[in-house]
Structure 1
Amino acid sequence: MIRLILADDHAIIRDGIRALLTEDAGLEITAEANNGQELLDKLATTPCDVVLMDVNMPVMDGFGAMPHLRRDFPDVKVLVLSMLDHPNYVVRMLNAGASGYVLKNADVAEISHAIRTVASGRQYLCTEIGLNLLQQVTASGPIPDTATRKANDLSKRELEVLTLIAEGLTNAEIADKLFTSKRTIETHRQNIIEKTQAKNTAALIKFAVSEGLIE
């Protein structure tokens, strides 16, 4: 069971997230917070594996909370859930110690997958942000080789999934397109990550471009 604390200053957002995630038997929301300071107070007495945290909050925002989280609660993983998609926000939060960044328009399957990914000690970046960062990288120069394995290490189905990830589709959309389950796509995605040694979606997309899978 992965224990979560939600930190967002909008009660309607927290209620919506709670309603969506309660359908997942592997997740448990142990507390909620309106801002970064309240989050730190809750963490002092509440068991938690992953914090699902917004960036813009009153009293103490996500940037202000991160140094305290890393110092006082180093075992707690932080997954940012925000509408802010500018690369500067993403990079700042990741550099501050966040394990992942997901936009609020992501579907529940991707949010659940992101939570499990960061809870296991890996990093996660949602597809839309990965594409935005890729555009920044390609605009500034040649794409570095971030993968240690070749495309022929991937199965035909894994190549199909990788191509659709690079096109910006969510796990649910890929599942519908390939007539399979979201859980199967999550498994394929994890296999692709392990084979390519890519740490996040942006690195996967770079790999797809470098191998000529997409233009």
Structure 2
Amino acid sequence: MNMSNKILHVAIADDHPVVLGAIRQELARLPEVRIDLEVETGDALLNALRRSPCEIVITDFTMPNDEKEDSDGFSLIKRIKADHPSSKVIVYTAMANSAVVKRLYRMGVFSVINKREKPEELINACLATQSTKQVYFPVSLRGELEVSWAQGEAFSHAKELTLSELEVVRLFVEGNSLSDICDRLSRTPSTVSTHKNNAMRKLGLSTDAELIKYAYSTGMI
């Protein structure tokens, strides 16, 4: 497990203290790793990283923000990557949605580790950040997904939804009204409707029922 003598500065974020404790315990196996930041909300993570950037950021996908409402995971990752492009982001999550996982890799995360994986996968991902690899796939995501990455498939396609469109569709299919989505994303009704309609047009769908069926059948939700 030797990663040379370089000290790796790590930030960890999860809204469950027991998970933070488990991550801390696993990373203690790597003497070169130093946990500089430990937070429980997305807002706290962004604020802490502004004060003390880290080479590795291990974060849950969905956490409350400082208003105690669940923040959108895509928006959080987008902010981290925009503000700290050199940081290696490892998403440590219970979410197993294949469409979301692919989207995260497209957004530039280094690895997506499911919390059901063996704890060693988190260690392996941290070790891999010091290699020349662009990404790290845990055992459960290897095979077809690894081949798709190498061939550029499944991670880029002509009709890919924008981040805003995907956010609106996901929230809508989860049962939120357009009004709820406006409040959640701080967008106007016309903007939310436009994103939803553009997504349906790109996907070749004409009704809400078709959109919901598509989202569930493809693993988008």
- Relative to the length of structure 2, the TM-score reads 0.56
- The C-alpha deviation readout for 1:62-92, integer Å capped at 9, x for no partner, is 3111221122111111011111112112011
Aligned partner of 1:126 among 138, 143, 164: 138
Q: What is the aligned counterpart of 1:57 among 43, 60, 63?
A: 63
* 1:104 Cα offset (Å): 1.2
Moved over 3 A (4+): 131-134, 143-146
Partner of 2:156: none
Residue matched to 2:92: 81
Residues 2, 119 of structure 1: 8 Å contact kept: no
Asked if structure 1 preserves the Cα contact closer than 8 Å seen for 2:26 and 2:123, the reply is: no
Partner of 2:51: 45
Equivalent residue number for residue 10 of structure 1 = 16
Which structure 2 residue ranges, 5 or more long, are not aligned? 1-6, 66-70, 152-221
Counterpart for residue 27 of structure 2: 21
Check whether the contact 1:100–1:124 (CA below 8 A) recurs between aligned residues: yes
Partners of 2:98 and 2:61 in 1: how far apart? 13
1:108 pairs with 114, 119, 124, which one?
119
User: Are the aligned partners of 1:87 and 1:133 in contact in 2 as well (CA < 8 Å)?
Assistant: no
In 2, the alpha carbon distance for the partners of 1:66 and 1:37 equals 12
The more displaced of 39-48 and 56-65 is 56-65
3-state SS of 2:57 partner: strand
Contact 1:77 1:99 survives alignment (8 Å): yes
Report the counterpart of residue 71 of structure 1 in structure 2: 82
Say which structure is richer in helix: 1
Give deviations 1:101-138, integer Å, cap 9, x for gaps: 1111223332111112134452101111235748xx9x
SS in 2 for 1:20: helix
Kept after mapping to 2: 8 A contact 1:79/1:118: no
Looking at structure 1, the residues matched to 136 and 123 of structure 2 have their Cα atoms a distance apart, in angstroms, of 11
CA distance in 2, matches of 1:145, 1:104: 25
Q: Is the 8 A contact 1:77 1:119 kept in 2?
A: no
* Structure-2 change in CA distance of 1:8 and 1:145 (3 Å): closer
The alpha-carbon distance between structure 1 residues 35 and 61, as it changes in their structure 2 partners (threshold 3 A), is farther
Change in 2 beyond 3 A, CA 1:88/1:28: same
Cα distance change on mapping 1:88 and 1:15 into 2, 3 Å: same
Q: Point out where structure 1 has 5 or more consecutive residues left out of the alignment.
A: 138-142, 147-215
CA distance in 1, matches of 2:141, 2:33: 24
For 1:3 and 1:27, the matched residues in 2 are separated by: 6
1:210 paired residue number: none
The 1-side partners of 2:129 and 2:85 are apart by 13
- In structure 2, relative to structure 1, the CA distance for the partners of 1:91 and 1:144 (3 Å cut) is closer
- How far the C-alpha of 1:35 sits from its partner, in A, is 2.0
Q: CA RMSD in A?
A: 2.4
Conserved 8 A contact 2:95-2:114: yes
Bigger Rg, structure 1 or 2? 2
